[in-house]
Homo-oligomer: A and B are copies of this chain.
Amino acid sequence: MIDRLAIIGVGLIGGSLALALKQAGEVKHVVGCGRNEKNLIKGVELGVIDSYQVSIADAVKGADIVVLAIPLGSMQTVFEKIAGVISSQTVITDVGSAKASVVQVATECLGERIRQYVPGHPIAGTEKSGVEAGFASLYQNRKVILTPLESTDKDAIETIDKMWRHCGASIEYLSVQHHDKVLAATSHLPHMLAFALVTFLSGLNDHDEIFRYAAGGFRDFTRIASGDPVMWRDVCLSNGDALLSLIDAYKDELDLVSDAIKNQDADRLLELFSKAKSERDSLVGNC
């Protein structure tokens, strides 16, 4: 049982974590903190958090666990603010979609308290954002990746591992670098492709008509283009190198399709699409 949980950033991810732990009966008090007081008031009204603080120092005081559920670009500021005030008993974690950049600022800011920090990333979300979008079952049967450092305290890891299990998630351990490479391929690249498709089509002359005839496949394909722009900006700034090399390599793959079309190469096209179909069909059970 967590006596006091501090959530910095009460949006979809942080709010759903609070709701899941409450539903599981595994938290006594959740204090929320964020830059937008209206949002925090709404969080209390909705029962997502029990109280709120506008000052980070006040929010983390006496907390067993502090969760940073904020865009990657805000991590440094928050780590700087908690560094001097956090107790030796508090475990810190985050939910950032890229890990190397967060680990770097945490290392710079936390000093010896870095041992109490467990980098994390729940592989869950929707295209919606904000505290109203939160729901208790968001993490049910989802994976949470933890990327502890060699120096990370074993008890701290255990605490965060348990917290996510109470939300219904399964826990996986990866190195920071491995996480960032895998997620660039699985998540960051597809988001870039979807963003680019929507901006591309909206720039065409007859874009009204194009969107008018869009069917279900298009809707599914572009859903992730509705993701939070600030979050995705920060992912690009934090995991840019991995992403850039994937975008380049993806363009080469797209050239294979173009070449086959150019050459009217029916066999090659069938081979490419059959491979894609069988790969996609085989992973339906996984995701």
Residues of A within 8 A of B (CB): 73, 123-127, 142-143, 145, 172, 181-183, 185-187, 189-204, 206, 209-230, 232-233, 236-237, 240, 243-244, 247-251, 253-254, 256-258, 260-262, 264, 266, 269-270, 272-277, 279-281, 283-284, 286-287
Contacts and interface: CB of A to CB of B under 8 A. Distances in A.
Name the 5 nearest CB pairs between A and B, nearest first.
A229-B273, A200-B253, A214-B287, A195-B276, A198-B276
B254 A192 contact: yes
A257 B267 CA distance: 33
Given A186-B211, A196-B250, A212-B286, 14 more contacts: A127-B217, A145-B213, A182-B206, A186-B214, A187-B214, A190-B217, A199-B272, A214-B287, A217-B224, A225-B280, A226-B280, A227-B277, A233-B269, A237-B264
Contact of A193 (B193, B223, B272): B193
Contact of A223 (B217, B233, B269): B217
Give the most central of A222, A228, A276: most B CB within 10 Å.
Answer: A276
B261 A243 contact: yes
Contacts of A126: 216
B213 A123 contact: yes
B143 A213 contact: yes
Give the most central of A189, A233, A253: most B CB within 10 Å.
Answer: A233
Contacts of A194: 221, 276
A274 B286 CA distance: 31
A228 B193 CA distance: 22
A267 to B, nearest CB: 9
Contacts of A185: 201, 204, 210
A217 B197 contact: no
Tell me the dominant secondary structure on chain A's binding face: helix
Given A145-B213, A215-B287, A280-B198, A190 B221 contact: yes
A235 B204 CA distance: 21
Contacts of A275: 198-199, 202
Contact of A253 (B196, B219, B223, B227): B196
Copies in the complex: 2
B276 A233 contact: no
B213 A224 contact: no
A252 B225 CA distance: 18
30 contacts: A123-B213, A126-B216, A172-B213, A182-B209, A182-B213, A183-B213, A185-B201, A185-B210, A187-B215, A187-B217, A191-B217, A193-B254, A194-B276, A198-B275, A198-B279, A200-B250, A200-B253, A201-B279, A203-B253, A211-B279, A211-B286, A217-B224, A218-B287, A229-B270, A229-B277, A232-B269, A236-B269, A237-B266, A240-B264, A247-B254
A75 to B, nearest CB: 15
